[in-house]
Chains A and B, each alone.
Chain A
Amino acid sequence: MPNRKGFDESLYELRELLASMGDHVIEALQEAVQSLQSKNVELAKSVVDNDYRLNEMEEKIMDIGSRLIITQQPVAKDLRRIIVAFKISSDLERMGDLALDVAKVTLRLQGSELIKPLKDIPQMSEIVVEMIRDSIRSYLDENTDLAHKVGTDDDQVDHLYSGMIRELHEYVKENGADGPQVMLINLTGRYIERIADHATNIAESVVYLVTGKRPDLNS
């Protein structure tokens, strides 16, 4: 039997594409949050405009993976590598959409002053960026310890998000509501919290890739 050089090269290409999608999502999230903080409409627009790249990379991963399944009929870990590439790319694509939603909040605010300075959102975003980095790193290194750390970090994000909701609630009670803006800030927190959930999904995929067992890190 051949040494499957072509097959291994295609698997490597899948890894590279996923790593690149990960970088792209991190950049999109950082820029979206930055645009919100600095009321930078142009920056927000560029996040929206660049989202197509993630979609393209996801499609490319689907194409390569489908071709490998058809031509190579992979089994065992080789098959898991492809299943996991499909899952992770779909998580990353969705994370990109959520970063785009954050950027759209900047566009909707149209440069108006925020009711209060952003505190929790940048903090959540910082943790989430690290979660994305760790989830992709755990995938590339097949490191399940790092994957479990992503699950733990997700709890922290959930905690910050519920704190933020409570605070907004208090704010509305004390100061009366600026309905639309409270809604938008709340949604932004929700978008970022969802990105963290997808990063946790990636970490779960890594554990499945390595062990063949499906864990639940998202509970």
Chain B
Amino acid sequence: MSDIIRIEQLNLYYEKHHALKNIGLSIKEKAVTAFIGPSGCGKSTLLRTLNRMNDMIPGTRIEGKVEIAGADIYGDDVEVEGLRQQVGMVFQQPNPFPKSIFENVAYGPRLQGIRSKSELEAIVERSLKQSALWEEVKDHLKKSAFSLSGGQQQRLCIARAIAGQPDILLMDEATSALDPISTLKIEELTQDLKKDYTIVMVTHNMHQAARISDQTAFFLNGEIVEATDTTEMFSNPSDSRTEDYISGRFG
């Protein structure tokens, strides 16, 4: 597996607050990478630098380099919309549009200029199948997305994020608002999705990171303390701060 994301000497400031300190990290293609760490440690901030969501926060300043597939995403010629299509995102709270199930998934492809009904139908079906929602909704695609349960809404958001066939899917605590069964479904889904996509997730649930990620990075006070194979991190971490955190002794 080669690296699809390379982060070098990345520093990020919110006004005077130094939120990310000298981050260096490579993220493997078609694998699940988990960011863990206590609240305020910078893990969500780093996730948001990967599709430039931090651009929207006034007073944000970034130094250093973030490369995706060899291209600097903070370069002058980068189109942010194109980047966000390449790097999809799913948030903590399911946030479907107030539209039908079909239209939620077709929204992105329509924006990309796809007009053909059959083509859109094919994309919607493929995306809903990949997000393991198709069987539950195929007979009522015209119903409002809000008629779905929270867990189904979240899978719909995943379908929406992958409809534009991104390379990377960012998940920011995507299961923390869901019940255990819905959580399990999404965890299983990540194992299927990683065959086609690179997944980077932030989670507060360490056992979730242990269950579904291939690589884990542990953050503390804006720095990466340790980034390694997940099994290695949870069986024999090399830094005592990692050990203390994953053993629940601080944080």
Contacts and interface: CB of A to CB of B under 8 A. Distances in A.
B140 interface: no
A75 B249 contact: no
Contact of A78 (B247, B250, B251): B247
Interface string A1-21: 111100100000000000000
A164 interface: no
Contact of A76 (B207, B236, B250, B251): B236
B83 interface: no
Q: How large is the interface on B (under 10, 10 to 19, 20 to 34, 35 or more residues)?
A: 10 to 19
B234 interface: yes
Interface of B: 206-207, 210, 234-237, 243, 246-251
Interface string A134-149: 0000000000000000
A77 B233 CA distance: 11
A118 B215 CA distance: 60
What are the 5 closest A-B residue pairs judged by CB atoms, nearest first?
Answer: A212-B236, A75-B234, A78-B247, A1-B248, A75-B246
A113 B193 CA distance: 77
A73 B236 contact: no
B243 A76 contact: yes
Contacts of B249: 1, 3-4
A84 interface: no
B248 A79 contact: no
Nearest to B251: A1
Contact of A77 (B206, B207, B210, B243): B243
A74 interface: yes
B236, B247, B250: most-surrounded residue (chain A CB, <10 A)? B247
A79 B236 CA distance: 10
A74 B236 CA distance: 12
A7 B248 CA distance: 10
A25 B116 CA distance: 80
A76 B246 contact: yes
B243 A73 contact: no
12 contacts: A1-B250, A2-B248, A7-B248, A74-B247, A75-B210, A75-B234, A75-B247, A76-B243, A77-B243, A77-B247, A79-B235, A212-B236
Nearest to A78: B247
Given A212-B235, A212-B236, A76 B247 contact: yes
Nearest to B244: A76
